[in-house]
Chain A
C-alpha cells in the first residue's frame, strides 16, 4: 500500500482491525433518531454513471445504511464534468439531511485547484470516508502490441501521441495528475480520454477503442477475474501481495512518482441540522462494520489498509489532502 511517497498519511494498517473490534451493538444503542429523522428515503447523488467504483461503493453503502437506519437510501447517478456536475445539483436540494453527496478526491482537488468556491469541512461536511484505495494500469489480455508495462512503455515511445488511455477527470484531478507524473517519469506521451460513464470506459478498453485503462483494482475486479483485463502496473511504491506479479513504481524504475490515493466519501451541506449530521456519522460507523459491507470491502481489496474515517477524522483527512494537493500543484507548476 502507499508508503513513504504518498501525498498524505493514512494512519496505520492496524486502524481498520481496531475499528472492527468495536461492538456493533454497542454503537447501535446510541442510534436514537433525532426528532424522528430520518423518516423517509434518503437520496445519495453519485457523481458518475452506473457500474463504476463510486457507484458500487454508494450502492453497497446505501444497502448497509438502509439496514442500520430502517429507511430507504436510494442512488441517483449524475455524471458529467469529471464528477463536478453533481455538486450544483446537490447544492440546489433542500438542506434537510435527505440528500447526501458522494464524492471522490475529485472535490478535494477541485478546492485545491480553486474550481469550486466553497470550503470543504466548512460549507460541505464529510460524514465518513468508506474507501481509500490505489490505482493500476490495465490492458487487454489478448493485446499483442505489448504484454506488460515495459513493452507498453517501449510501444508508447515508438508511437508518441498515438497511444490512448481511458481515464476520467478534469485537469488537476487525481487521475490526470497521477498519470501525468507517470508519463513524465517514464518518458512517454499518451492521450488521456475522459469517460464519465464507467460502462463506456470499461467497454472502450475491452472493445479496443482505447489502448489502456487507469482505474482502481476493486472497481474492475470482475473484469480481472473474468479475463477481460490485465493489470500491468501497480501505482504504489511496492506491490501488495494480491498483485505481487504486477510491477510497482519502484520495480518500473519510476519510484519518484508521488502516489495519490483514490478516496470515496459522503457529504452533507453545512445547513443540515447538527443532530442529523451526527446521526448520519454514527449510522455510517455502524453501517461500515456490518458483515455485508465488510464483505464488500474485502471484495474491493479494501481490507489491505485503513479505508474508513468517520466524522472529525474524515474532515481532518480532507483538509490534509487539500493542503497536500496545493503543495503538489505548486511543485509541478499546475495552476487553473
Chain B
C-alpha cells in the first residue's frame, strides 16, 4: 500500500505527470478507435520525443496509451460494426447486433465498465505479484500448452452466429483456410500464393475484418433498404443496471482470468485474450445460440479480457524483460532511451518508476470508465445520422483504415472483396464471427502447433504427456464432440433465412 501511495503522490503532485497521463488517455482512445491506426502507432510516433520526458513519465505515457487504446476500438465496433483494432473484433460480434436492437447504450456501457473492471483487476494482480506470476506463467505454458489453449478456443467457434452448427464449422474452416495463405511459419514455404507477393505475405487481418464486418454490413443494410425491410435502430443511451452487472459477475471474473493469463504469456496478448474469452462465454452459457445476435455477455467477455491482458503483459516485461507484443517492445525502447533495461533488476533499482507505471495504469482504467460514461451519453447520438449518409462515411473510414495500414491500395480491394464475400455468406446463414475466429486462431495455432510437434518428436500423442496440454485438449475434444452431437439432433429452421449479424 505504501508503494501505491508513493506512486500516486509522485504522479499527481507533478503537473507534468498529470498532463502526460491525460494526454495519453485521450490519445489512446482516439488512435484505438480509428481502424488502421492503433495504440502502437501513437506509441511509435511519440517514442523519440520520450527522450525529453523524465523516465517515469515516458514509460507511464506508453502504459496509459496501451490501456486506453485497447478500449478505444470498442465504441466503433459497437456502433458501426467497425472494430478499431483486432482485439475489439469479438466486441462487434454481439455489440453491433445490440445497437441494431436499440441497445447501443447498454452495449457501450457494458464495454466501458468491463474494460475498466478487467483492467483494474489485472492491475491489482500485477501490483500484488508481478515476479512470481511471470515465473509461473512461462514455466507452465510452452508451445504445446498454447496450442491446446487455442484448440479449446476453436472447438467452440462454430457455435457463434451461424444458422446451423454445420454452417458454423464451414465458416471456421473457411477462416482456417484463409489463415494458411502465405509463407508458412516454420519452413518459409509459400502456400496458395499464385506467385503473387501480396498473397505470399499472407492476407492481413485488418482489411479482412473491415470487409467482413463493416463493408458487408453496409451491403446488408442496403439490401434491406432496397426491399423496404430496414427499420432504423432505436437510440439507446441507458447504461446497464447494477442488477445486470451482478448477473454477469461470473462472466466478468472468468473473462478477467482468461484475459490476464493470455496477456501474461509472451507472444499471445490482447487479441487472443478477447477471442478466447468470447469462445468461453459461449461455452459456459445456458443459451449459446443467442451469441452473435446481441447477447450482452459477448461484449462483456471480449472487453473484460482485452483490457485484463494489458496489465498482465507488463508482468513478463517488468519481471523478466520479455516484451510479448509490439507495444511492450516500444516500451523497451523507452527504457533504453533512458539508459535502463526492463527485467528483474528494474523491480529493485527503479521501484519508484515501476510503481508510477502501476498506479498510472490503474488510474487509466478508472479514467476509461469516466470518459466512457460520457461517450455513452454523447457518441451514441451519431446513430441519428440517416443511414444514407452513414453508409458512405463507414465505407470511407474503412477504406482509409485499410489503406493506412501499409499504404497498399490492394488492401482496400481485398477489404471490398471480403465485404462482398461476407455479404453473400451472411445471406446464406454463415457466420462472420466464426470465420474471423478461424483466421486469428488459425494463424496463432499453426505457429504453436509446429513448434509443439518439433518439441514432441512429431508424435501428437505426446501432447497428452504434459498435464496442462492434456487437460485443455481433452476439454476441447469433449466440447467438439458435444457440439457435433447437438448439431446432429437439431433440425435447421428453414424459415430462419434473414441474414444474421455479424
**A153 → B minimal CB distance (Å):** 21
Q: Give me the 10 closest cross-chain CB pairs, A-B, nearest first.
A: A50-B329, A209-B142, A81-B188, A207-B138, A88-B200, A199-B266, A89-B201, A84-B188, A85-B183, A81-B183
CA separation between A169 and B450, bound complex, in Å? Answer: 13
Name which of A66, A164, A226 has the most chain B CB atoms within 10 A of its CB: A226
**B273 → A minimal CB distance (Å):** 16
19 sampled A-B residue pairs with Cβ under 8 A: A43-B406, A50-B325, A50-B328, A51-B328, A59-B332, A63-B337, A72-B48, A81-B183, A81-B189, A88-B183, A92-B201, A94-B407, A170-B188, A196-B447, A199-B316, A200-B143, A202-B322, A206-B322, A222-B342
**A47 → B minimal CB distance (Å):** 10
Q: Are A171 and B187 in contact (CB under 8 A)?
A: yes
Q: Mark B210-252, 1 if CB is under 8 A from A, else 0.
A: 0000000000000000000000000000000000000000000
Contacts of B41 in A (CB 8 A): 74
Query: Which B-chain residue is minimally distant from A50 (CB atoms)?
Result: B329
* B241-300 interface with A by 8 A CB criterion: 266-267
**A92 → B minimal CB distance (Å):** 4
The segment out of A31-39, A187-195, A232-240 that lies at the interface is: A187-195
Q: Are B451 and A80 in contact (CB under 8 A)?
A: no
Q: Are A51 and B336 in contact (CB under 8 A)?
A: no
> Interface of B with A (CB < 8 Å)?
41, 44-45, 47-48, 137-143, 182-190, 193, 197-202, 266-267, 316, 320-326, 328-330, 332-333, 336-337, 341-345, 406-408, 410, 447, 450-451, 454-455, 457
Residue A301 interfacial (CB < 8 Å):
no
**A176 → B minimal CB distance (Å):** 11
CA separation between A202 and B343, bound complex, in Å? Answer: 13
Residue A115 interfacial (CB < 8 Å):
yes
Contacts of B186 in A (CB 8 A): 81-82, 170, 194
Contacts of B345 in A (CB 8 A): 225-226
Contacts of B44 in A (CB 8 A): 72, 74-75
Q: Are B48 and A63 in contact (CB under 8 A)?
A: yes
* A6-57 interface with B by 8 A CB criterion: 41, 43, 49-51, 55-56
Contacts of B322 in A (CB 8 A): 51, 199, 202-203, 206
CA separation between A164 and B453, bound complex, in Å? Answer: 12
Residue A157 interfacial (CB < 8 Å):
no
Q: Are A191 and B454 in contact (CB under 8 A)?
A: yes
Contact of A92 among B185, B321, B337, B408 (CB under 8 A): B408
Contacts of A223 in B (CB 8 A): 321, 343
Contacts of A320 in B (CB 8 A): none
Residue A282 interfacial (CB < 8 Å):
no
**A304 → B minimal CB distance (Å):** 20
Given contacts A50-B329, A67-B48, A77-B329, 16 further A-B contacts (CB under 8 A): A43-B407, A50-B332, A63-B48, A74-B41, A85-B183, A161-B457, A164-B454, A194-B450, A197-B267, A199-B316, A200-B451, A209-B143, A222-B343, A223-B321, A226-B321, A228-B344
CA separation between A79 and B198, bound complex, in Å? Answer: 15
Query: Which B-chain residue is minimally distant from A83 (CB atoms)?
Result: B188
CA separation between A333 and B326, bound complex, in Å? Answer: 39
Contact of A222 among B143, B189, B193, B321 (CB under 8 A): B321
CA separation between A72 and B266, bound complex, in Å? Answer: 27
Q: Are B139 and A81 in contact (CB under 8 A)?
A: no
> Interface of A with B (CB < 8 Å)?
41, 43, 49-51, 55-56, 59-60, 63, 66-67, 72, 74-89, 91-94, 98-99, 110, 115, 161, 164, 170-171, 191-197, 199-200, 202-204, 206-210, 221-223, 225-228, 292, 296
CA separation between A99 and B197, bound complex, in Å? Answer: 15
**CB contact under 8 A between A208 and B201, given known A59-B329, A197-B266:** no
**CB contact under 8 A between A85 and B201, given known A60-B336, A194-B451:** yes
Q: Are B407 and A93 in contact (CB under 8 A)?
A: yes
**A336 → B minimal CB distance (Å):** 11
Contacts of A226 in B (CB 8 A): 321, 343-345
Q: Are B326 and A50 in contact (CB under 8 A)?
A: yes
**A230 → B minimal CB distance (Å):** 15
**CB contact under 8 A between A98 and B267, given known A203-B322, A204-B142:** no
Contacts of B451 in A (CB 8 A): 193-195, 200
Query: Which A-chain residue is minimally distant from B186 (CB atoms)?
Result: A194
Q: Are B336 and A50 in contact (CB under 8 A)?
A: no
CA separation between A243 and B188, bound complex, in Å? Answer: 34
Q: Are B455 and A80 in contact (CB under 8 A)?
A: no
**CB contact under 8 A between A80 and B185, given known A63-B333, A91-B197:** yes
**CB contact under 8 A between A92 and B198, given known A51-B332, A85-B182:** yes
Q: Are A203 and B344 in contact (CB under 8 A)?
A: no
**CB contact under 8 A between A72 and B45, given known A51-B332, A203-B322, A226-B343:** yes
Contacts of B200 in A (CB 8 A): 87-88
CA separation between A53 and B142, bound complex, in Å? Answer: 21
CA separation between A326 and B198, bound complex, in Å? Answer: 29
CA separation between A81 and B187, bound complex, in Å? Answer: 5
Contacts of A51 in B (CB 8 A): 266, 322-324, 328-329, 332
CA separation between A72 and B43, bound complex, in Å? Answer: 12
**A322 → B minimal CB distance (Å):** 17
CA separation between A191 and B451, bound complex, in Å? Answer: 11
CA separation between A149 and B455, bound complex, in Å? Answer: 22
CA separation between A284 and B138, bound complex, in Å? Answer: 38
Q: Are A194 and B454 in contact (CB under 8 A)?
A: yes
Query: Which A-chain residue is minimally distant from B321 (CB atoms)?
Result: A222
Contacts of B328 in A (CB 8 A): 50-51
CA separation between A60 and B451, bound complex, in Å? Answer: 30
Contacts of B45 in A (CB 8 A): 41, 72, 74
Contact of B188 among A82, A91, A200 (CB under 8 A): A82
CA separation between A76 and B40, bound complex, in Å? Answer: 10
Q: Are A199 and B324 in contact (CB under 8 A)?
A: yes
Contacts of B193 in A (CB 8 A): 88
